[in-house]
Amino acid sequence: MRKIISAIGLLAFLTLSAQQNVHLKSPGQSPVIGDDGKVTFNLHAPGAKRVQLAGHLPGQPIEMTQQEGNWTASIEGLEPDIYDYWFEIDSVRTMDPSNPYVVRDVAYLSNIFVVTDNGYSPYLTNNVPHGKVEKVWYRSDKLGGDRRMSIYTPPGYDGKTGKYPVLYLLHGMGGDEEAWQDLGRTVQMLDNLIATGQAEPMIVVMPNGNALLQAAPGFSTMGLYTPEGNQSVDPDRSFEAAFPEIVAFVEDNYLVDPSKSKNAIAGLSMGGGHAWKISMMMPDKFDYVGMFSPAIWWDGRGVPVDMNHPEVVPMLERQFQSAPQFYWIAIGNEDFLYDLNAHYRNLLDSHGFPYEYYESEGGHTWVNWRHYLLKFLPRLFKTD
């Protein structure tokens, strides 16, 4: 077998002649982000006939133009945010070979870049105290096996002193226990908001919400398979029914305040539905409930909840006997779940259950879910 020296080997090899400092020649610069929000994408592809820039970008797909095999495209005036994109080279979806930063959504990779606000982004690591992230396994008897989970503990948490509030943060269909970190930038957000006093120091628990999967793709006994986002809908083996096991694990192993005023649950899409259901099933547990583009259905996917639903309404009545401090629905005006949520708000209105509602631009996107979390976190645990 022919062995190639790895990039690390190559570096060391270059070093032998270059002495002090060594640069592994980078594969080019792309994207180049200007101070004015102008972003330029570059690709050397002399053999390509057509290259398009695609992703969550205005005006996409964008035709790239070439000169001597160097393809380029620019976008002006991007607002500070995270953007994802990829190249379509002669119709093949590819990563930008100059950008090593990628995120995975189900089976698809995208490159990402960040436009900052004069150098600052809540989604990037800043020079502030940093919390710790743990990848732990817990036992679920209900779901039958060990399951993987991500847990953020804030700066100063030492496992010995204090009692911390806790947020359970749930992903959507196709996501996993990595999604809120990789796509959602939760860790950076928490560090940044806690440092400026905008959010309380809290523990954030990010489990895997797929009842049939024990861990994110690549971390389970399924090996390096191609994820497809299957979901169990067996109500007897549901994530929601097994959720108390997660709470018990967290309360046994971390210094958390178990009282309602110090417990929050939130999620996006399917996870928003989970937060909705779990907060009803544990009516004395959560004073803070966040539903981001939530999949509010009970009897079947896509079916709105009947205004006098014989199971849901009594559960809500029980939950709202002592109403949550903050019961929040956030959704984009182009979200395909918009009507479903409008229907559910009618239900809440008709029964007089109090809630807050936030409507943004856009649809069912991580851009929105990150924005919602940025708005949600400062509202938590401020009432005592």
Question: In this structure, are residues 308 and 315 in contact, taking their beta carbons and an 8 Å threshold?
Answer: no
Sign of the alpha-carbon dihedral angle for 194, 199, 203, 206: negative
Q: 59 in the Ramachandran plot: left (φ > 0), alpha (ψ -120 to 50) or beta? A: left
Residue range at the interface with a second copy (CB under 8 A); choices 3-11, 236-244, 280-288, 348-356: 3-11
Q: How far is CA 371 from CA 127, 268, 368, in A?
A: 22, 12, 5
- Residue 74 corresponds to which tokens in the numbers above? 């620019």
Helix intervals (H) in the chain: 7-18, 179-182, 186-195, 239-253, 270-281, 312-321, 338-351, 366-376
Distance CA 15, CA 67 (A): 34
Q: How far is CA 40 from CA 43, 74, 377, in A?
A: 10, 4, 33
- Smallest distance from the beta carbon of 157 to a second copy, in angstroms? 11
- Count CB atoms within 10 A of the CB of residue 191: 21
- Smallest distance from the beta carbon of 128 to a second copy, in angstroms? 9
- Smallest distance from the beta carbon of 358 to a second copy, in angstroms? 17
Distance CA 315, CA 188 (A): 36
Query: Is residue 174 at the binding interface for a second copy, with CB under 8 A as the rule?
Result: yes
Of positions 36, 90, 349, 384, contacts a second copy by CB under 8 A: 90
Buried b (16+ CB within 10 A) or exposed e, 56-90: bbeeeebebebeeeebbbbbeebeebbbbbbbbbe
Q: Of 102 and 242, which has the nearer Cβ to a second copy?
A: 102
Query: Is residue 217 at the binding interface for a second copy, with CB under 8 A as the rule?
Result: yes
Question: Judged by CB under 8 A, how many residues of this single chain contact a second copy?
Answer: 115
181 to 210, contacts with a second copy by CB under 8 A? none
Q: Of 178 and 287, which has the nearer Cβ to a second copy?
A: 178
Residue range at the interface with a second copy (CB under 8 A); choices 19-27, 203-211, 256-264, 313-321: 19-27
Residues in contact with 344: Cβ distance below 8 Å, sequence separation at least 6, in sequence order: 296, 304, 305, 329
Q: Of 247 and 295, which has the nearer Cβ to a second copy?
A: 295
What is the phi/psi pair of residue 53, to 5°?
-100, 125
The site map against a second copy for 300-319 (x = CB under 8 A) is: xxx-----------------
Of positions 67, 161, 226, 321, contacts a second copy by CB under 8 A: 226
Q: Of 149 and 263, which has the nearer Cβ to a second copy?
A: 149
The site map against a second copy for 41-80 (x = CB under 8 A) is: --xxxxxxxx----xxxxxx--------------------
Of positions 189, 332, 347, 373, contacts a second copy by CB under 8 A: 332
- Smallest distance from the beta carbon of 223 to a second copy, in angstroms? 5
257 to 296, contacts with a second copy by CB under 8 A? 268-270, 295
Of positions 74, 124, 238, 342, contacts a second copy by CB under 8 A: 124
- Residue 148 corresponds to which tokens in the numbers above? 């993987």
Residue range at the interface with a second copy (CB under 8 A); choices 87-95, 321-329, 341-349, 371-379: 87-95
Of positions 100, 156, 162, 354, contacts a second copy by CB under 8 A: 100
Query: Is residue 108 at the binding interface for a second copy, with CB under 8 A as the rule?
Result: yes
Of positions 106, 255, 282, 374, contacts a second copy by CB under 8 A: 106
Q: Of 72 and 98, which has the nearer Cβ to a second copy?
A: 98
Of positions 113, 168, 327, 372, contacts a second copy by CB under 8 A: 113
Q: Of 285 and 364, which has the nearer Cβ to a second copy?
A: 364
- Residue 241 corresponds to which tokens in the numbers above? 């029914």
Closest Cα to residue 111, out of 95, 89, 124? 95
- Residue 125 corresponds to which tokens in the numbers above? 């690591």
Give the DSSP H/E element, type plus range, for residue 32. strand 32-33
Q: Of 34 and 100, which has the nearer Cβ to a second copy?
A: 100
- Smallest distance from the beta carbon of 375 to a second copy, in angstroms? 18
Q: Of 104 and 262, which has the nearer Cβ to a second copy?
A: 104
